[in-house]
């Protein structure tokens, strides 16, 4: 069953979609909050995350997907978006899920750029969190550079303007009007500065080994976090830099199936 609704404060309502098994007992269901990826990542991953939410709901879980303020079906314009706001909306969604009866510890899943608000929020927690990062962004400056380069490719190489040159807008990035301070704030993000509370559980799913992630895992372990890597053996990592496939839906089928299995096995779904 899929139930759209709004939650949060009256002055900052957030659009949510709850996935759960029809007729299931949500008071005992394992719970998952899917943190929304940023900008085009959120659009491109929609099908993949919807499918994963439905798969977990069919297994008896309850899954919340939501749009942060100034994104999707939530109120606000994209120029109002900020990393602080994305972080706070993630915490609001987590608190909403935790308030839904006896659901036990709520797990969070963050795909790619969603890792930024997820980690920023988790590092503020005073009690242990349960967090899964999938192909996470560890360095905001790298992502900001990738997006700026992709913006140029879309204007000059992707065939969007065959008859005359595009006229770039100062605050436009890949079709999103952003506040001038958004990209500098994104570039300042460093996952290494985010330390989860002791007793937390952290899993990072990767398609290929990453020394930066390994170092991050070790630092979290030294802080008392149960941290480990899930290696996805399907060679399906999307080419995020392909200008001609930029607007395609990202749906690594086998890897998404693997993620569903891992989330079920290493949670109260099992």
Kindly report, residue by residue over 108-137, the tens digit of the pLDDT: 999 999 999 999 999 999 999 999 999 999
Instruction: Give whole-number Cα distances, 46 to 49, 50, 112, 247, 268, in Å.
Output: 5, 6, 12, 12, 25
Instruction: Using only the alpha carbons of the chain, give its radius of gyration.
Output: 18
**Residue pLDDT, tens place only, 168-196:** 777 899 999 999 999 999 999 999 999 99
In the chain, the percentage of residues whose pLDDT exceeds 70 is 95
Residue 223's domain spans which residues?
2-138+199-265
Residue 183 included in any domain: no
Residue 66 included in any domain: yes
The single-letter DSSP state of residue 128 is -
Give me the sign of the Cα torsion angle 5, 8, 14, 18.
negative
pTM for the whole thing?
0.94
**Separation of CA 190 from chain center:** 16
Residue 182 included in any domain: no
Which residues, in sequence order, are bridge partners of residue 2?
Answer: 19
Q: Would you say 81 and 90 are in contact if contact means Cβ atoms under 8 Å apart? A: no
Residue 134 included in any domain: yes
- Structurally, the chain folds into a number of domains equal to 1
CATH of the domain at 208: 3.40.50.1820
Which residues neighbour 144 within 8 Å (Cβ) at sequence distance 6 or greater? 183, 186, 187
The single-letter DSSP state of residue 125 is -
Residue 151 included in any domain: no
**Residue pLDDT, tens place only, 68-87:** 999 999 999 999 999 999 99
**Separation of CA 216 from chain center:** 18
Report the candidate in 106, 89, 88 with the shortest Cα–Cα distance to residue 97. 106
Report the candidate in 256, 16, 227, 262 with the shortest Cα–Cα distance to residue 119. 227
* Rounded Cα–Cα distance for residues 35 and 70 (Å): 15
More confident residue, 163 or 31: 31
* Rounded Cα–Cα distance for residues 39 and 61 (Å): 27
């Amino acid at each position: 069953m899929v139930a759209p609704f709004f939650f949060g404060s009256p002055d900052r309502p957030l659009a949510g979609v709850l996935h759960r098994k029809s007729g299931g007992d949500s008071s005992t269901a394992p719970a998952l909050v899917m943190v929304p990826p940023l900008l085009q990542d959120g659009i491109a991953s929609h099908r993949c995350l919807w499918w994963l939410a439905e798969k977990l709901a069919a297994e008896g879980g309850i899954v919340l997907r939501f749009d942060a303020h100034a994104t999707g079906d939530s109120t606000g314009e994209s120029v109002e978006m900020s990393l602080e706001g994305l972080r706070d909306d993630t915490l609001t969604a987590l608190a909403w899920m935790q308030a839904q009866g006896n659901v036990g510890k709520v797990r969070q899943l963050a795909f790619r750029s969603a890792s930024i608000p997820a980690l920023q929020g988790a590092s503020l927690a005073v009690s242990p969190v349960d967090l899964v990062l999938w192909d996470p962004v560890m360095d905001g400056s790298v992502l900001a550079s990738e997006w700026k380069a992709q913006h140029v490719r879309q204007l000059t190489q992707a065939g969007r303007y065959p008859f005359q040159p595009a006229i770039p807008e100062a605050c436009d990035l890949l079709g999103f009007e952003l506040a001038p301070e958004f990209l500098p704030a994104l570039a300042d993000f460093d996952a290494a500065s985010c330390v989860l509370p002791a007793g937390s559980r952290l899993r990072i799913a990767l398609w290929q080994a990453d020394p930066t992630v390994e170092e991050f895992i070790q630092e979290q372990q030294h802080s008392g976090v149960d941290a480990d890597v899930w290696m996805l053996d399907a060679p399906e990592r999307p080419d995020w830099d392909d200008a001609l496939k930029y607007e395609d839906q990202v749906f690594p089928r086998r890897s998404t199936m693997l993620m569903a299995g891992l989330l079920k096995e290493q949670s109260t779904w099992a």
